[in-house]
């Protein structure tokens, strides 16, 4: 009996510190405002029959985000991305991209009108705090890829009026604004195009954040030079830890921070841990398949199936929550606590072992607590830093 009692006591003592950390993390997670700057929920929202106000199954529905699961996971605010893959840089291509972007904006607005008790549109930092206090989800809107801007500067005001508060200047390929970090044909403009410089200036005037995720290094430095406002990288990681052109070098992160900007750490596994060359080649082949082409629903379904097959084949290389915090640690050591945040890329490839969808985001808060971050630090990482920069976006 004494031996059994001693064993039980030992187990209790061993478990106590972990339980204490878990309780501490839970309380912090409840108190801070959690903001994710890059969520691809609209990819599902444009599908017939998908209702973001209803709870979905991650595996069955291939979905990581909806309003009920945001509430369950303690996710207070997200930037829903109006995402368009890069297509032909032609008048017809630009017109189609504009039309598709407007349809995505409409789906977001329709969902918010349908579920006013669950979520509300946010366009300012004050909105985020007000909506969070009311117990609802704050939905900001960003645009991933400036392709829908085409070569029409006036469309920036159109998108701003619809709620857009950041634009990722490019995606996987070059567009009329700037060069991408990953275009297989190499640079087109040697950085920002002359039109792209006007885009950055107009975004400053309106109060739209310039997002440099996906852009080439030269495009980044050009945007940094032209912009009067701080820049953001809405979903990027540190190249020093994972050598991929989509990630940012230490010098880029330092330059971003020196101008007051923030890098939002991404949950895509192969931007967190360097995959094998074979894995990387397979991923790149899928990502670049639709570049410069009109991607039909059937083609997109084929690409999604290939990407899923690759993910399963290389599951052993997948990153963890600890890998996310390694990137946060690196950035904090490099430029301080005021220049890092979270941009998950859920529903767009984001997700790691231990954090598969938005219901599990408290795992990140727990890992930050384990690493010794204070509640004040965690509040900055989870949203405070980005909201500070959003408040500085308008610069005439």
The predicted-structure confidence for 268-289, as pLDDT tens digits, reads as follows: 999 999 866 676 666 667 656 6
Give the pLDDT score at 283: 65
Single residue among 289, 317, 345 that ends a domain in this structure: 317
Residues 151 and 230 in one domain: yes
213-218 mean pLDDT:
98
Residues 118 and 230 in one domain: yes
User: Is 204 part of any domain?
Assistant: yes
136-142 mean pLDDT:
98
The residue ranking higher by pLDDT, 1 or 214, is 214
Residues 384 and 334 in one domain: yes
CA geometry: angle 216, 383, 338, nearest 5 deg: 70
* Rounded Cα gap, residues 105 and 27, in angstroms: 35
Give the pLDDT score at 13: 42
Give the pLDDT score at 123: 98
What b/e sequence results for 242-281 when a residue is b if at least 16 CB atoms lie within 10 Å of its CB, and e otherwise?
bebebbbeeebbebbbeeebbbbbbbbbbbbbebeeebee
Helix, coil or strand: residue 166: strand
CA dihedral 279, 284, 286, 289 (to 10 degrees): -160
- Residue 37 binned pLDDT confidence (cut-offs 50, 70, 90): very high
Question: Which residues have CB under 8 Å from 27's CB, separation 6+?
Answer: none
Give the pLDDT score at 305: 66
Is residue 5 pLDDT above 60, yes or no? no
Residues 78 and 200 in one domain: yes
User: Is 162 part of any domain?
Assistant: yes
Residue from 279, 272, 276 nearest 354 by CA: 272
289-302 mean pLDDT:
64
Give the pLDDT score at 18: 72
User: Is 4 part of any domain?
Assistant: no
Give the pLDDT score at 1: 42
3-13 mean pLDDT:
51
* Rounded Cα gap, residues 178 and 86, in angstroms: 12
Residues 302 and 233 in one domain: no
* Rounded Cα gap, residues 72 and 78, in angstroms: 14
Single residue among 317, 332, 350 that ends a domain in this structure: 317
Please provide the average confidence, as pLDDT, over all residues in the chain: 92
> Quick one: which H or E segment has residue 337?
none
User: Is 347 part of any domain?
Assistant: yes
* Rounded Cα gap, residues 128 and 120, in angstroms: 9
Residues 76 and 190 in one domain: yes
Residues 146 and 282 in one domain: no
DSSP 180-241: BSS-TT--SSSSB-HHHHHHHHHHHHHTPEEE-TTB-HHHHHHHHHH-SS--EETT--BTTT
330-341 mean pLDDT:
98
Question: Is the separation of the CB atoms in 188 and 162 below 8 Å?
Answer: no
Give the pLDDT score at 15: 52
Residue from 65, 76, 163, 58 nearest 119 by CA: 76
133-139 mean pLDDT:
98
Is residue 12 pLDDT above 60, yes or no? no
Residues 310 and 330 in one domain: no
CATH code: domain of residue 69: 3.20.20.140
Share of the chain above pLDDT 90, in %: 84
Is residue 333 pLDDT above 50, yes or no? yes
User: Is 2 part of any domain?
Assistant: no
pLDDT for 237-259, tens place per residue?
Answer: 999 999 999 999 999 999 999 99
Is residue 261 pLDDT above 80, yes or no? yes
Q: Which domain holds residue 308?
A: 276-317
174-189 mean pLDDT:
97
Return the DSSP state at 380.
I
Is residue 260 pLDDT above 70, yes or no? yes
Residues 298 and 232 in one domain: no
Give the pLDDT score at 9: 45
- As for how many domains the chain has, the answer is 2
User: Is 181 part of any domain?
Assistant: yes
User: Is 53 part of any domain?
Assistant: yes
124-146 mean pLDDT:
98
Give the pLDDT score at 317: 73
Residues 379 and 261 in one domain: yes
Single residue among 287, 317, 347 that ends a domain in this structure: 317
Question: Is the separation of the CB atoms in 147 and 178 below 8 Å?
Answer: no
362-384 mean pLDDT:
98
Is residue 212 pLDDT above 80, yes or no? yes
User: Is 37 part of any domain?
Assistant: yes
Residues 303 and 254 in one domain: no
Residues 308 and 324 in one domain: no
């Amino acid at each position: 009996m004494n031996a059994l009692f001693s064993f039980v006591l030992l187990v209790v003592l061993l478990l106590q510190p972990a339980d204490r950390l878990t309780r501490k993390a839970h309380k912090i997670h409840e108190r801070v405002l959690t903001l994710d700057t890059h969520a691809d929920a609209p990819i599902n929202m444009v599908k017939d029959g998908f209702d973001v106000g209803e709870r979905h199954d991650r595996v069955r529905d291939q979905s990581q985000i909806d309003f009920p699961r945001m509430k369950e996971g303690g996710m207070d605010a997200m930037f829903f991305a109006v995402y368009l893959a890069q297509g032909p840089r032609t008048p017809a291509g630009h017109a189609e991209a504009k039309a598709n972007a407007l349809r995505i904006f409409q789906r977001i607005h329709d969902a918010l009108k349908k579920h006013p008790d669950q979520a509300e549109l946010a366009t300012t930092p004050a909105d985020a705090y007000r909506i969070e206090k009311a117990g609802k989800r704050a939905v900001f809107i960003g645009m991933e890829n400036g392709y829908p801007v085409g070569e029409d500067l006036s469309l920036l005001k159109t998108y701003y009026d619809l709620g857009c508060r950041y634009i990722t200047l490019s995606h996987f390929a070059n567009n009329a604004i700037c060069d991408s970090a990953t275009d297989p044909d190499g640079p087109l403009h040697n950085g920002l195009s002359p039109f792209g410089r006007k885009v950055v200036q107009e975004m400053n005037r309106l109060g739209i954040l310039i997002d440099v995720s996906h852009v080439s290094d030269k495009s980044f430095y050009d945007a940094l030079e032209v912009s009067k406002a701080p820049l953001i990288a809405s979903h990027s990681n540190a190249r020093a830890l994972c050598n991929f052109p989509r990630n940012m070098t230490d010098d880029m992160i330092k330059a971003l921070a020196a101008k007051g900007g923030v890098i939002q750490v991404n949950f895509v596994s192969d931007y967190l841990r360097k995959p094998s060359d074979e894995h990387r080649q397979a991923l790149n082949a899928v990502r670049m398949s639709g570049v410069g082409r009109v991607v039909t629903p059937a083609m997109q379904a084929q690409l999604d199936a290939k990407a899923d097959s690759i993910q399963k084949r290389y599951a052993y290389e997948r990153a963890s929550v600890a890998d996310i915090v390694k990137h946060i640690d690196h950035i904090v050591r490099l430029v301080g606590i005021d220049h890092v945040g979270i941009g998950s890329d859920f529903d767009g490839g984001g997700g790691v072992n231990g954090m598969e969808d938005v219901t599990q985001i408290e795992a990140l808060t727990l890992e930050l607590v384990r690493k010794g971050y204070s509640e004040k630090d965690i509040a900055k990482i989870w949203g405070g830093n980005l909201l500070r920069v959003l408040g500085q976006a308008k610069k005439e």
